[in-house]
């Protein structure tokens, strides 16, 4: 995987402090929002933990700066209000990043199934997340929760049916993607 190239502002210290002036802050939030989405997409991160030290993007050792908890919450909150992220708990400690919307994940899954002639096949969730078939595709590494929600959208359209396995590892989906 190619190295992630950080934008200019990531090495400019004041961008790690929440700016008090409104216009400047808006610009700052916008830049961080884009960066978080790009970074998560690049590294296939789905869940961001706000607690210190857990998410590498929020600290830049090169310039010895890190985002405060408040700043993290502001930037992620801005994504949440746009529908590009969701808080996973009331305390805003964990955040699900949707750099692709759930319905777009569903579309992606559907077109993957069609392109590979698997319209009638059965796959386990594990296979989709980390199996040979999806290796190298954009589906590889998808978050389990996101995957289940995407499949549920397909279920509503009658394109798929989820079934429970004996163990969680065996949970799977039967496509009927014609």
Partner 1 sequence: MRRRPGISGLQTAAAARDQYRSLGENVAKIRTDLMKEQLATFRNQLEEFARKHKNDIKKSPAFRAQFHSMCAKCGVDPLASNKGFWAELLGIGDFYYELGVQIVDICLATRPHNGGLLDLEELRGLLAKRRRASREPITEDDCLRAVSKLKSLGGGFEVFTVGRRKLVRSVPTELNRDHNLILELAQVHGYVTVQEVENELTWKAGRALDALENLMREGLAMVDDGHPDGKRRYWFPCVGSAATGTEAAESVLSSPN
Binding-site ranges for partner 1 (CB under 8 A)? 7-9, 11-17, 19-21, 23-24, 27, 64-66
Least distance between partner 1 and beta carbon 108 (Å):
23
Nearer to partner 1 among residue 31 and residue 140 (C-beta): 31
Buried (b) or exposed (e) across 1-38, using 16+ Cβ within 10 A?
Answer: eeeeeeeeebeeeebbebeeeeeeeeebbebbbebbbb
Least distance between partner 1 and beta carbon 165 (Å):
45
Q: CA dihedral defined by 56, 146, 38, 29, rounded to 10 degrees?
A: -80
Nearer to partner 1 among residue 74 and residue 162 (C-beta): 74
CB under 8 Å to 28, separation ≥6 — which residues?
Answer: 15, 18, 19
Least distance between partner 1 and beta carbon 67 (Å):
8
Nearer to partner 1 among residue 14 and residue 165 (C-beta): 14
Least distance between partner 1 and beta carbon 80 (Å):
22
Nearer to partner 1 among residue 58 and residue 105 (C-beta): 58
Least distance between partner 1 and beta carbon 87 (Å):
25
Distance CA(127)–CA(149), nearest Å, equals 16
Nearer to partner 1 among residue 31 and residue 162 (C-beta): 31
In angstroms, what is the C-alpha Rg of the chain? Answer: 19
């Amino acid at each position: 995987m190619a190295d992630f190239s950080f934008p200019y502002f990531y090495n400019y210290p004041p961008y790690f402090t929440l700016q008090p002036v409104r216009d400047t802050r808006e610009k700052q939030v916008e830049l961080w929002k884009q960066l978080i989405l790009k970074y998560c997409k690049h590294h296939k991160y789905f869940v961001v933990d706000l607690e210190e030290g857990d998410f590498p993007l929020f600290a830049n050792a090169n310039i010895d700066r890190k985002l405060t908890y408040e700043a993290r919450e502001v930037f992620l909150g801005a994504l949440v209000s746009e529908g590009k992220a969701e808080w996973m708990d009331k305390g805003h400690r964990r955040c699900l990043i949707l750099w692709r919307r759930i319905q777009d994940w569903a579309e992606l899954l559907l077109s993957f199934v069609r392109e590979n002639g698997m319209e009638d096949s059965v796959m386990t969730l594990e296979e989709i997340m980390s199996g040979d078939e999806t290796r190298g595709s954009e589906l590889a590494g998808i978050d389990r929760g996101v995957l289940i929600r995407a499949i549920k959208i397909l279920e509503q359209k009658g394109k798929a049916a989820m079934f429970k396995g004996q163990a969680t590892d065996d949970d799977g989906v039967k496509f009927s993607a014609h």
